[in-house]
Amino acid sequence: MTDPNRPFSDDERRGLYRAIHERRDVRSQFLPDPVPTDVLARLLRAAHHAPSVGFMQPWDFLVIDSVEVRARVLAIFDAENDKAAHNYQGDRQHTYRSLKLQGILESPLNLCITCDRSRGGAHVLGRNSIVETDLFSTCLAVQNLWLAARAEGIGVGWVSILDQHQLAKTLDLPENVYPLAYLCLGYVSEFLDQPELQAKGWRSRLPLNGLVHGNLWGQALEDESLLAELKQ
């Protein structure tokens, strides 16, 4: 086991930031190659080492390789995606319908990361004021897995256009367990050089310097050197 007090080397820091900046939400580039058991175990272990409020660790992981189960999830997606398309009109709706927003069957593996909202009991340390911290903690597990997957050359796609009640029923989840993230996993033919929605003209990344405030909302940063760094 490595010394937790040992500083990160330059290569280690670069690797971490590379994973962050090159992480992509993958929908269209999945290959059929299976994810090796040892790689999947490393990804799950990385997710399980996420921080959680009160150390509640509210997550569970459903590893889904059944084509039958995934076909049922795809049916839920198709229905919800058609509903979502009606939020847009004209060219915007046409663009929306042209987007590929899932890889449920194309990816060799699906993973549902759930949040057990009863884990830790009625009184979890740190959760008294903000009860949603169990959901926030589970999101950190998702991010851990996603960054580890990028480092392993594994693509991940989050399918968010799902009716969560129907999904929970399909996956036979207990009443207190919420299906927080339905993910598609697999090796990919390529990682795009920019997010797919940006490449397709749906949205662009917001400039960071416009999102950082000083002390109070809307107040400019007094540190001009930081502001200059953020504009780069």
137-158 pLDDT tens trace: 999 999 999 999 999 999 999 9
Query: In one letter, which amino acid is 148?
Result: A
What string of DSSP letters covers the chain?
A: ---TTSPPPHHHHHHHHHHHHH--B-SS-B-SPPPPHHHHHHHHHHHHTS--GGG---EEEEEE--HHHHHHHHHHHHHHHHHHHTTS-HHHHHHHHHS----TTTSSEEEEEEEETTTT-S--TT-SS-TTHHHHHHHHHHHHHHHHHHHTTEEEEE---S-HHHHHHHTT--TTEEEEEEEEEEEBS---SS-HHHHTTS--PPPGGGT--SSSTTPPPS-HHHHHHHT-
Domain 18-201 = CATH 1.10.3720.10: no
Strand order in the sheet with 109-116: 59-64, 109-116, 177-187, 154-158
- Could you tell me whether strands 154-158 and 59-64 are parallel, antiparallel, or unpaired per DSSP bridges? unpaired
Residue with tokens 């589970």: 138
What residue segments make up the domains of the chain, in order of their start? 18-201, 204-232
| Confidence category of residue 2, pLDDT binned at 50, 70, 90 | confident
Please write the tens of the pLDDT for every residue from 23-53: 999 999 999 999 999 999 999 999 999 999 9
pLDDT at 66: 98
Section 75-95 average pLDDT:
96
Q: What is the pLDDT of residues 163-219, one digit of tens each?
A: 999 999 999 999 999 999 999 999 999 999 999 999 999 999 999 999 999 999 999
- pTM greater than 0.85 (yes/no): yes
Query: What pLDDT is recorded for position 4?
Result: 85
